């Protein structure tokens, strides 16, 4: 049963979790004969904790468990305080502009830390014998990889569709002549022009992305995925980084 549910869209799973737990808690209150036995705040916290727990059991992305924790509490606070409607609209617009890709590609905003940036820098400088080297950060976020790896011998391109991260990346890299930040659809973008393609996406798009990599990248080029391996494909090499997450870079050399 759980395996089938895991294949459903995460937004649908999240909604059904909230409804199911709400019904369960309501029935529990009715069995207790009186909702005055425990304060309403108890049930709100119970709703948040249980939906977060079941979200993890269903192996939703970790950030969904945080959403389940915050949503009931935020709803309760919103109903019991005098907050202007414009505030909720502003929060909604902000969230949409950051998590633009989540609904379509199920890719949340992941940021590559400094340890990852250094590990990626060291690897490509020791394994790509070409100058200038062309690197694509597919899903650039706020542009950290594209900005910090760029140099006269490494020309980087960051591709990002979420409006707010794209704008931040564009501003951060505005004056660097070795960086290009574009807002484009990754699935329509030609990968054949790059020596290295780096991604930090999610498990969901990896099979489709691998097919695109095989079809477009040139022999001798390198595809690198942060944390998420290509299913059923043996990586050429795995680079383990010494950070808090114990990050692994999965290296695939194109033959």
Residue 99's pLDDT is what? 55
Residue 109's pLDDT is what? 55
3-class secondary structure, 11: helix
Q: Cβ(186)–Cβ(211) under 8 Å?
A: no
Residue 95's pLDDT is what? 56
Q: Cβ(189)–Cβ(197) under 8 Å?
A: no
Q: Cβ(240)–Cβ(248) under 8 Å?
A: yes
Arithmetic mean of pLDDT, 146-157: 93
Q: Would you kindly state where each structural domain of the chain is located, as residue ranges?
A: 2-83, 114-253
The CATH code belonging to domain 114-253 is 3.40.50.150
Give Cα separations from 199 to 113, 140, 188 (angstroms).
13, 8, 16
Cis bond before residue 125 (omega within 30° of 0)? no
Q: Where are the beta strands (DSSP E) in 61-195?
A: 133-138, 154-159, 179-182
| Vertex 105: Cα angle to 183 and 240 (nearest 5) | 90
Arithmetic mean of pLDDT, 125-129: 86
Q: Looking at the predicted structure, is the pLDDT value of residue 177 above 60?
A: yes
Residue 172's pLDDT is what? 92
> Measuring CA to CA, which residue among 221, 179, 228 is closest to residue 199?
228
| Vertex 218: Cα angle to 188 and 105 (nearest 5) | 30
Residue 244's pLDDT is what? 76
The model's pLDDT over 178-188, given as tens digits with 9 standing for 90+, comes to 999 998 888 99
Residue 61's pLDDT is what? 65
Q: Cβ(69)–Cβ(54) under 8 Å?
A: no
C-alpha to C-alpha distance for 88 and 221, rounded to whole angstroms: 46
CA atoms 163, 168, 169, 170: torsion sign? positive
């Amino acid at each position: 049963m759980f395996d089938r549910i895991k294949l459903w869209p995460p937004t649908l799973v999240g909604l059904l979790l909230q409804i199911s737990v709400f019904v369960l808690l309501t029935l529990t209150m009715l069995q207790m004969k009186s909702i005055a036995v425990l304060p309403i705040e108890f049930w709100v916290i119970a709703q948040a904790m249980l939906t977060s727990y079941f979200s993890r059991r269903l192996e939703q992305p970790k950030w969904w468990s945080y959403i389940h924790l915050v949503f009931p509490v935020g709803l309760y606070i919103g109903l019991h305080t005098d907050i202007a409607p414009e505030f909720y609209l502003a929060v909604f617009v902000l969230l949409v502009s950051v998590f633009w890709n989540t609904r379509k590609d199920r890719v949340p905003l992941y940021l590559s830390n400094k340890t990852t940036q250094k590990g990626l820098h060291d690897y490509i400088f020791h394994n790509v014998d070409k100058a200038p080297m062309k690197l694509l950060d597919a899903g650039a976020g706020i542009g950290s990889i594209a900005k910090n790896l760029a140099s006269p011998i490494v020309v980087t391109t960051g591709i990002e569709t979420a409006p707010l991260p794209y704008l931040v990346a564009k501003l951060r890299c505005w004056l660097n002549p070795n960086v290009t930040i574009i807002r484009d659809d990754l699935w329509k973008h030609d990968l054949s022009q790059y020596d290295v393609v780096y991604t930090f996406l999610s498990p969901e798009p990896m099979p489709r992305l691998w097919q695109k990599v095989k079809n477009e990248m040139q022999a001798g080029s390198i595809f690198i995925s942060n944390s998420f391996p290509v299913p059923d494909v043996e990586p050429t090499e795995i680079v383990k980084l010494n950070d808090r997450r114990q990050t692994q870079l999965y290296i695939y050399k194109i033959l």
